[in-house]
Amino acid sequence: MIVTAHRSLLLAAVALTLVLGGCASPADRAAMTPQNLTVSKHHPYSLRVQTGGGAETGTMDSSNISNADLKAAIEDAVVRSKLFTSIVQGSNGDYELSVRLTSLSKPTFGGTFTVDMETAWSLTKTSDHSVALRKSVKTSGTATMSDAFAGVTRLRMAVEAATRNNIEQGLKAVAELNL
């Protein structure tokens, strides 16, 4: 009888925990897109974007960045800032931008979460495969208890902030090139 009562209490408490926090959700593509990015140059070419190194967020995982969402966030930022004339899919763009997520360091415990991120940006001219840019971009993002109470949400916000900063820095580096 006592064992059954304890088991019920435990189940209720676990259920409460899941309702309060649940598991992680992936970084949101809109939240990863820099909103007011201004660039020094506008390149009169079309661009193809490809991404790698990202991961889906499993139900038992912490927040990750999927390749598709990273690609969409970069493409959206390029379109908003008019950095290139157009975005193309497939292999017929004037330039190809490859962005690979090479490191995403996430805390597992704490109040204020800081996420460190590194990406490898390379820009290649499609016609002759010449490399116009090869750059490592390192950024971080922080979320505090005032941003979100639940740890999983706070971590997602920190990941999104790090990605937003990263895309901004990467595109600014591309904007400085003379293509």
Partner 1 sequence: MKRLLKLAALLGLVTVLTTGCAVNRATANVDPSANLSSLKTMYVKRIADDDNTYNLIADKLRSKGVTVSTGTEAAPSGVDAVVTYIDKWMWDMTMYMLELTVNIRDPKTDFPLATGNSFHTSLTRLSPTEMVNEVVDNIYKDAK
Binding positions for partner 1, rule: CB under 8 A: 9-10, 12-14, 16-17, 20-21, 23-24, 50, 52-53, 55, 58-63, 96, 98, 100, 102-103, 105-111, 113, 118, 120, 122, 124, 129, 131, 134-136, 149-152, 154-155
Backbone angles phi, psi at 168, to 5 degrees: -60, -50
- Dist CA 43 CA 127 (whole Å): 16
> Beta strand 84-87 with 95-105: parallel, antiparallel or unpaired?
unpaired
For partner 1, the closer of residues 86 and 136 by Cβ is 136
Q: DSSP assignment of 18-81, as one string?
A: HHHT-S--PPPHHHHS-SS---S--EEEEEEEEEES-----TTS-----HHHHHHHHHHHHHHH
Residue closer to partner 1, measured from CB, 7 or 42: 7
Quick one: 77 or 99, whose CB is closer to partner 1? 99
Q: Tell the smallest beta-carbon distance from residue 2 to partner 1 (Å).
A: 11
Nearer to partner 1, 23 or 30 (CB): 23
